[in-house]
Amino acid sequence: MAQILLVEDEDKVASFIKKGLNEHHYQVDVATDGIDGLTRVLQNRYDLLILDVMLPIINGIDLCRQIRQKQPQLPILMLSALGTIDDKVNGLHAGADDYLLKPFHFNELLARIEALLRRGNIADEINHVLTFSDLKLNTWDKTAERAGTKITLTAKEYILLELFLRNPNKLLSREYITEKVWDINFDTGTNMVDVYVNYLRNKVQKNFSTKLIHTVIGMGYILKEQ
């Protein structure tokens, strides 16, 4: 499941894009200004960035340059109402991989995203296996193992484990896990996260002396070695 960051300050445009991409099973975070966008890119792992040119605080061109210095392999799709050749050239020179003119049809946006992700997947062939300590997760065939012992996972357990492996040594709050795994951005009032973390923990840590998934009381969970 691809993780996409959308940096767009127009609420209607952002809602339209996020809703459409969610329906196509993409996970989408939204930032509404350049600072928020830069912070999210530095703190999280994304498979693709959708970046508007006209942004508050840091404009899209400058933001693209800064992100490209930090993450040279991150696919970036730039959106803009500015459609001259010079505008497109400036965007591409700043480090964008593609440039889409507003207004656009959603199907064209989707096709551009899929093309960039395919290109990224080719470059990502060498690291399609996520590892931490002796724990491995193959994102191609959705298999997991620890120290050579296969681990059978349900769909939600797989998504949860992938989330931990993409964020090693980072504290993940229950709210963050709920949003990423269940696509719910509010408190359900249940212990759903705790239950599934325990399911996963039992499978990943059973018969192993080294524990990897740790509880931080009152705050959430973290994948780390003891």
Sign of torsion over alpha carbons 173, 178, 181, 183: negative
Sign of torsion over alpha carbons 195, 199, 204, 207: positive
Same domain, 108 and 157: no
- Does the pLDDT of residue 188 top 60, yes or no? no
Interval 154-173 mean pLDDT: 91
Which range among 100-109, 117-126, 179-188 shows the weakest confidence by mean pLDDT?
A: 117-126
Give 36's DSSP letter: H
Domain ends where: 78, 107, 125?
125
What's the Cα-to-Cα distance from 129 to each of 58, 137, 144, 208, rounded to whole Å?
35, 6, 9, 21
Secondary structure class of 206 (helix, strand, coil): coil
CATH of the domain at 34: 3.40.50.2300
Average pLDDT of every residue of the chain = 88
**pLDDT band at 124; cut points 50, 70, 90:** low
Same domain, 50 and 161: no
Which residues contact residue 68 at a Cβ distance below 8 angstroms, ignoring those fewer than 6 apart? 74, 76, 94, 95
Distance of CA 72 to the CA centre of its chain: 16
Distance of CA 218 to the CA centre of its chain: 25
Domain ends where: 125, 151, 176?
125
Domain ends where: 102, 125, 148?
125
**pLDDT band at 223; cut points 50, 70, 90:** very high
| pLDDT of res. 106 | 93
Same domain, 48 and 118: yes
Pinpoint the alpha helices (H) of 71-191. Answer: 85-93, 106-123, 155-165, 174-182
